[in-house]
Structure 1
Amino acid sequence: MTISVQDSPTVERSVTYRSALITGGSRGIGAEIARRLAGEGWHLTLAARNADALAETARRLRDESGVEVNPVVAQMNDLDQVRNLVREHEDRFGGLNALVLSAGTGTAGRVADMPAKTYERMLDVNFRAPITLIQAALPLLRKSAADDPARGAKIVALASITGVAGEAGLAAYGATKAALISLCETVSLEESANGVSATAISPGYVDTDMTAWKRDELDPSAMLRTGDIAELVLAVTRLSRNAVVPNIVLTRAGDSIWRA
């Protein structure tokens, strides 16, 4: 969209840019996606629960890329805070060209032994928050898609290969990610005629803080890189509105192609 911004107290210039809202944007995959988008001139709203880490990431992106970064602290299991993210983004930028759902949580455990509070938190963060945020963002996404009829507007959700092929010990996590994959497919069916499409990205283990528990049996050098995921997100944002990609599965190199 086009707005006027202040270069100085007395000078205005007209700028055309695209903007994205990224959850889980303070570290890991979300921060790398934010860095890549900022490098291409996108203005960003970053959401995360840790205020200090969020402020530091926002400062670094501003310094490196000169883009506008709007950090908003939010707990993904508080749906009022989730809905407020869209209001904060609209107030700052007016439009929304990409919604990136990178926030997530996971706890390993067998189905027989998993406490209800454990899988309820995964349902809250990995599914209830994304569907709530998509519902809140759709009017703004449709508006931005109409303003950019060549590319439309994109939703990208970080799912997991465990949502495609089940894995022992990750049943509840995988089930929430399978729900997210299905949600993306249905959103595209319902909204792609309005220029809004959704893509799930379903990787195996990525070398981040979230996979630190796995490092005793899986060396980080064998894991995917955050840059691998960010590269795919950028590719999706470059597609025309005619191209709908329901799900991208990304497996690690080796002899177990459908394993995390």
Structure 2
Amino acid sequence: MTEVVNNQGTTERVAIVTGGSRGIGRETAARLGRDGYAVTVVYGGNQAEAEEAVKEVEQAGGRAIAVQADVADEVAVAALFDKTEETFGGVDVLVHAAGIMPLAPLAELDLDVFDRLVRTNLRGTFVVDQQAVRRLRSGGAIINISSSLTKLARPGYSAYSATKGGVEAITLILARELRGRDITVNAVAPGPTATALFFEGKSQELIDRIAAEPPLERLGQPQDIAEIIAFLAGPGRWVNGQVIYANGGSAA
């Protein structure tokens, strides 16, 4: 495939960002745009948010399109990779940020909700990573989003944390399966981060208490996580097969 050269005279890198219409994914898409990437913003249902994310990438200096896809549907995911290749000429980076976080104690969680969590968070990671392995160009990067909750072990998060533990296992093994391919595979595991997903269903008292826990005494911001992802997507070539816990120093 022909690689596109951007206005700076360098070869344009291309990224797919799932969950790119909001939260960490959206901030990451814009951050990669600032680095001159062409970005496919993948969204689940809210087209208006996705189009706004596209505009943010373009305003930051990149090119972008929005594509709707169920990340757990292998046909839809293959089609979004096809669309990215047709539009931008190839794929270099996958940032898999799509996920859901319904919460309840283990004894009370509806098993239909558990199945939906596993389908979106765990199967979704497997399906998206599988296409990335088949499609990414040499020098590429796969960056999955896990969670510091795999270590923090908060009550109510058993199902969510179980899916993210699976994401970390996939990440570490896949990095070793790609020996010789010059493709890095890492996971970023944010702590509490100021996104709609985090704020949903929480009282202000609980939010304040969680924000006070790390030594930096604040919630993470999507920008904090996006900077780490941008490093792994670009210059961080010697970081491979790692889970990076980005939580401001919160202790398990």
**Range into which the TM-score falls when normalised by the shorter chain:** 0.7 to 0.9
Please tell me the residue identity of whatever aligns with 2:108: D
Q: Does 1:176 align with 2:163?
A: yes
Paired with 1:188 and 1:5, the residues of 2 have a C-alpha distance of 29
SS at match of 1:119: helix
**Alpha-carbon displacement from aligned partner over 1:197-242 (angstroms, at most 9, x marks no partner):** 2111111110000011234211367311111101111111234644
Segments of structure 2 that go 5 or more residues without pairing to the other structure are: 212-216
Match of 2:246 among 224, 228, 250: 250
Please tell me the residue identity of whatever aligns with 2:119: D
CA contact (8 A) 1:2 1:16 kept: no
Q: Does 1:27 align with 2:22?
A: yes
Paired with 1:75 and 1:109, the residues of 2 have a C-alpha distance of 24
Paired with 2:223 and 2:241, the residues of 1 have a C-alpha distance of 19
Paired with 2:180 and 2:6, the residues of 1 have a C-alpha distance of 36
Q: Does 1:163 align with 2:150?
A: yes
The aligned residue for residue 58 of structure 1 is: 54
**Alpha-carbon displacement from aligned partner over 1:77-103 (angstroms, at most 9, x marks no partner):** 433222322111111122211100011
The aligned residue for residue 186 of structure 2 is: 199
CA contact (8 A) 2:17 2:42 kept: yes
Please tell me the residue identity of whatever aligns with 2:11: T
Paired with 1:231 and 1:182, the residues of 2 have a C-alpha distance of 23
Paired with 1:112 and 1:161, the residues of 2 have a C-alpha distance of 22
Q: Give the length in aligned residue pairs.
A: 242
Segments of structure 1 that go 5 or more residues without pairing to the other structure are: 8-12, 146-151
CA contact (8 A) 1:48 1:54 kept: yes
**Alpha-carbon displacement from aligned partner over 1:123-150 (angstroms, at most 9, x marks no partner):** 1111111111111121221xx11xxxxx
CA contact (8 A) 2:72 2:128 kept: no
Q: Does 1:79 align with 2:67?
A: no
| TM-score of the aligned structures, taking structure 2 as reference length | 0.88
SS at match of 1:174: helix
The aligned residue for residue 198 of structure 2 is: 211
Match of 1:119 among 94, 111, 114: 114
Please tell me the residue identity of whatever aligns with 2:251: I
More strand by share: 1
Aligned pair in 2 of structure 1 residues 215, 84: CA closer, same or farther (>3 Å)? farther
The aligned residue for residue 154 of structure 1 is: 141
Paired with 1:53 and 1:215, the residues of 2 have a C-alpha distance of 25
Aligned pair in 2 of structure 1 residues 6, 36: CA closer, same or farther (>3 Å)? closer
| TM-score of the aligned structures, taking structure 1 as reference length | 0.85
Paired with 1:4 and 1:86, the residues of 2 have a C-alpha distance of 17
Name the % identity.
27
The aligned residue for residue 134 of structure 1 is: 129
